[in-house]
Amino acid sequence: MKDKKPSLETGKTNRRDFIKKAGVAATGAVAASAAPYVYSATNPIKWRLQTYSGAPLGAHVILPQIEAFNRAAHGQMEIELYYADQLVATDELFRAVQNGTIDAVQSDDATMASPVDINVFGGYFPFSTRYSLDLPVLFKYYGLNEIWQEAYDEVKGVEWLGAGAWDPCHIFTKDPIRSLADMKGKRVFGVPTAGKFLSRYGLVPVTLPWDDIEVAIQTGELDGVAWCGFTEAYEVGWADVCNYALLNNVTGAWCGSYFANSKSWEKVPPHLQELFKLSIDSSHYYRQVWYWGGEAKLRVEGKKMELTTIPTNEWDQVVKDAEEFWDDMASISPRAAKVVQIFKDYTAVMDQVGVPYRYS
């Protein structure tokens, strides 16, 4: 018996059915792929992030990052950015992110009073680095990344997302510092750990809201700042109210981090978590270049402040004193001792390697 050939009409019907089914499937696929964006357009994930920096500095060190992230998140997530002290005081930032008052923070461990035994190493830890590239190397290749992760894993409610190198620490004042004796009695706005170290030479660390610093220097409430490098001092207006810049710097880079509330972080899908971490890396990279170029240019071409130096023989004693300070900080805990040992090991390598890593 011969096979019955399908009729032309049957073939047409099958083709119509196929096209109809394919169209339905394609429509479903498009709807499925568009669903997250349709949903997010009406109900995006919303975060509030506060930075340690005021608006003039924030325009460089975080605003471009947050704007880029919001664009790249394609409506699925929006981060609202707040500057220093706008929602909570800077020294309350950790508690605020831990209890969910805010969703994320950009700050150093010491300034935001993190309840971990390594918080003294955030911000400016005296002579732990000489150049900005030292810090990411210490985190990536010398074990600091694992130590920070371990420390914050012990704290409920907060996720540590990573650290980066920010600007060096110089002292800018209304009256000149040309010797260690000139530091005595000078009231400066500064980062806690560096301020604690420099107080042995008579410098007086003062804590004030970030936006009040310029006026406090003008009125005489402050004599200067020990908070940043040349780039920031010029950018935010402190170079306009300080007359002198001390070239001897306490450290080569600020150690700053990003933190998120654990519940807020868990609600973010993996692809947006990765996107946010990439935006953090982009911000760190921007700062590396901005500070590296800005510091050199402003030391040479900046005209707002006169440059001063403390004689080498006196400054060598400061560097020597830092060794005792390191050992004091190592006594905080076994984990703090590990950090100090890493700094010592790294310094030993840099002392031996020579040019271009170290010139003296």
* Contact by Cβ (8 Å): 246, 310: yes
Dihedral sign of CA atoms 23, 27, 30, 32 in order: negative
Give the per-residue pLDDT at 360.
64
Give the per-residue pLDDT at 40.
55
- Starting at the edge strand found earlier in the chain, the sheet holding 169-173 runs 204-206, 187-190, 224-228, 169-173, 244-251, 306-308
Question: For the stretch 212-237, what's the b/e string if a residue is b when 16 or more beta carbons lie within 10 angstroms of its beta carbon?
Answer: ebbebbeeeebbbbbbbbbbbbbbbe
- Strand ranges inside the chain, DSSP E: 45-51, 77-82, 104-107, 158-165, 169-173, 187-190, 204-206, 224-228, 244-251, 255-261, 306-308
Give the per-residue pLDDT at 34.
45
Does the pLDDT value for residue 162 go beyond 60? yes
User: SS3 of 187, please?
Assistant: strand
In whole angstroms, give the CA distance from residue 5 to residue 42: 55
In whole angstroms, give the CA distance from residue 95 to residue 92: 6
**pLDDT band at residue 274 under the 50/70/90 scheme:** very high
**pLDDT band at residue 158 under the 50/70/90 scheme:** very high
- Starting at the edge strand found earlier in the chain, the sheet holding 104-107 runs 77-82, 45-51, 104-107, 255-261, 158-165
CATH 3.40.190.170 residue ranges for the chain: 43-166+255-293, 169-253+303-353
In whole angstroms, give the CA distance from residue 104 to residue 98: 9
Report CA Rg, the chain.
27
Dihedral sign of CA atoms 22, 28, 32, 34 in order: positive
Give the per-residue pLDDT at 41.
61
Q: Phi/psi of residue 309, each to 5°?
A: -140, 150
Does the pLDDT value for residue 230 go beyond 80? yes
CATH architecture of structural domain 43-166+255-293: 3-Layer(aba) Sandwich (3.40)
CB atoms within 10 A of CB 5: 8
In whole angstroms, give the CA distance from residue 179 to residue 193: 21
Bridge partner residues of 170 (DSSP): 228
Dihedral sign of CA atoms 100, 147, 151, 229 in order: negative
**pLDDT band at residue 197 under the 50/70/90 scheme:** very high
* Contact by Cβ (8 Å): 331, 171: no
Does the pLDDT value for residue 12 go beyond 70? no
In whole angstroms, give the CA distance from residue 113 to residue 104: 15
Does the pLDDT value for residue 24 go beyond 50? no
CATH of range 169-253+303-353; options 3.20.20.60, 3.40.1280.10, 3.40.50.450, 3.40.190.170? 3.40.190.170
As given in the structure block, the two tokens for residue 45 are 């994930």
Give the per-residue pLDDT at 14.
47
DSSP state of 269: -
Side chain identity at residue 219, one-letter code: T
Q: What is the mean pLDDT of residues 36-46?
A: 67
Does the pLDDT value for residue 2 go beyond 90? no
Q: What is the mean pLDDT of residues 258-281?
A: 98
In whole angstroms, give the CA distance from residue 62 to residue 55: 10
As given in the structure block, the two tokens for residue 32 are 């499925």
Q: Cis link prior to 356 (omega < 30° from 0)?
A: yes
**pLDDT band at residue 42 under the 50/70/90 scheme:** confident
Per-residue 3-state assignment (H helix, E strand, C coil) for 241-280: CCCEEEEEEEECCCEEEEEEEHHHHHCCCHHHHHHHHHHH
Give the per-residue pLDDT at 283.
97
Does the pLDDT value for residue 199 go beyond 60? yes
Q: Percent of the chain beyond pLDDT 70?
A: 88
Give the per-residue pLDDT at 338.
98
**pLDDT band at residue 38 under the 50/70/90 scheme:** very low
